[in-house]
């Protein structure tokens, strides 16, 4: 596995298959990271083990070559996220990707209500995928339907929230860390959290810090990976 600690790229065979830990920056799509890795390695077969929204940062596991057959294994691991919920505001995408469509007062919301609301999300729960998501219904991605201003019925899914820690409360902002099963939409949790408190809520920041036992601290950002790879090629040609 290629991590930040990796110093010698010469031993890796991206065509045969490698696994790379990447720290995705904000405002990049997961597909853009895959595209950049594909360009840098010259390998056509590249995929990621779990989408991160463009406004989210953090850990992506990238597989190349024959290692793409292992993507499902990584997708099944539990995920850890940190982020911020902003109470009193709502948007169609449930985050800051779309314009805020409703603003409500957060007056009278105190720590106990927030912690009680938090407790209701822990364990096995059902969640409706957001309209602004890559989930497909009848062959069409929901986000494409949402961008046309339409909303369709979605089937609730079962997910598991293993832990939901509130790190800081400074209304309207709630900083959290969540450990959850695959298929969990943190945006939906932010939206439902706000609804439970009666004021609305959206996800204003999100970072994926772990996938299973793999940590974002060990990940390379895309530019670091590309530079190290180019340096290795340059040194090889120079020799």
Is the pLDDT at 237 greater than 60, yes or no? no
Mean pLDDT, the chain, as a whole number?
93
Q: Taking Cα atoms as reference points, which of 27, 26, 21 lies closest to residue 50?
A: 21
Q: Are 55 and 186 contacting, i.e. CB atoms less than 8 angstroms apart?
A: no
Same structural domain, 204 and 223? no
Q: 139 is in which domain, residue-wise?
A: 79-211
- Give tens-digit pLDDT for 110-120: 999 999 999 99
- Give tens-digit pLDDT for 59-103: 999 999 999 999 999 999 999 999 999 999 999 999 999 999 999
Assess if residue 13 is contained within a domain.
yes
Angstrom distance (rounded) from CA 106 to CA 99: 19
Q: What is the pTM of this model?
A: 0.93
The three-class DSSP label of residue 95 is strand
Question: pLDDT band at residue 109, thresholds of 50, 70 and 90?
Answer: very high
Assess if residue 3 is contained within a domain.
no
Q: Are 94 and 202 contacting, i.e. CB atoms less than 8 angstroms apart?
A: yes
Angstrom distance (rounded) from CA 4 to CA 11: 15
Q: Is 224 left (phi over 0), alpha (psi -120 to 50) or beta?
A: alpha
Q: Are 94 and 130 contacting, i.e. CB atoms less than 8 angstroms apart?
A: yes
Catalytic amino acids?
53
Angstrom distance (rounded) from CA 94 to CA 128: 12
Question: pLDDT band at residue 222, thresholds of 50, 70 and 90?
Answer: very high
Q: What is the pLDDT of residue 239?
A: 33
- CATH code for the domain of 204: 3.30.2350.10
Question: pLDDT band at residue 137, thresholds of 50, 70 and 90?
Answer: confident
Q: What is the pLDDT of residue 18?
A: 96
User: What total number of domains does the chain contain?
Assistant: 2
As a residue count, the chain comes to 239
Same structural domain, 142 and 220? no
**What percentage of residues in the chain have a pLDDT greater than 70?**
97
Question: pLDDT band at residue 11, thresholds of 50, 70 and 90?
Answer: confident
Ramachandran angles phi, psi of 24, nearest 5°: -70, 130
Question: pLDDT band at residue 235, thresholds of 50, 70 and 90?
Answer: very low
- Give tens-digit pLDDT for 165-210: 999 999 999 999 999 999 999 999 999 999 999 999 999 999 999 9
Minimum mean pLDDT among 36-40, 53-57, 108-112, 225-229: which range? 225-229
94: Cα separation from own chain's centroid: 14
Assess if residue 1 is contained within a domain.
no
Same structural domain, 229 and 206? no
Assess if residue 113 is contained within a domain.
yes
């Amino acid at each position: 596995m290629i991590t930040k600690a990796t110093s010698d790229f010469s031993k890796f065979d991206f065509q045969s298959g490698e696994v790379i830990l990447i720290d995705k920056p904000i405002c990049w799509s997961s597909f853009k990271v895959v595209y950049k890795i594909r360009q840098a390695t010259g390998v056509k077969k590249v995929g990621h083990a779990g989408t991160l929204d463009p406004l989210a940062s953090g850990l992506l596991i990238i597989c190349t070559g024959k290692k793409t057959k292992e993507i499902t294994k990584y997708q099944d691991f539990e995920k850890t996220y940190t982020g911020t919920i902003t109470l009193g505001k709502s948007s169609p995408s449930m985050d800051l990707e779309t314009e805020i469509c409703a603003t409500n007062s957060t007056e009278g919301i105190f720590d106990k209500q927030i912690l009680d609301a938090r407790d209701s999300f822990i364990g096995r729960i059902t969640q409706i995928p957001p309209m602004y998501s890559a989930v497909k219904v009848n062959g069409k991605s929901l986000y494409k339907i949402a961008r046309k201003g339409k909303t369709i019925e979605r089937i609730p899914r079962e997910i598991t929230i293993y832990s939901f820690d509130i790190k800081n409360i400074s209304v309207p902002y709630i900083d959290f860390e969540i450990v959850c099963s695959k298929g969990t939409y943190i945006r939906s949790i932010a939206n439902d959290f706000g609804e439970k408190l009666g004021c609305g809520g959206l996800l204003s920041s999100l970072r994926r810090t772990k996938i299973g036992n793999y940590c974002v601290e060990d990940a390379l950002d895309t530019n670091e990976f590309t530079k190290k790879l180019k340096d290795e090629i340059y040194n090889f040609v120079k020799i």
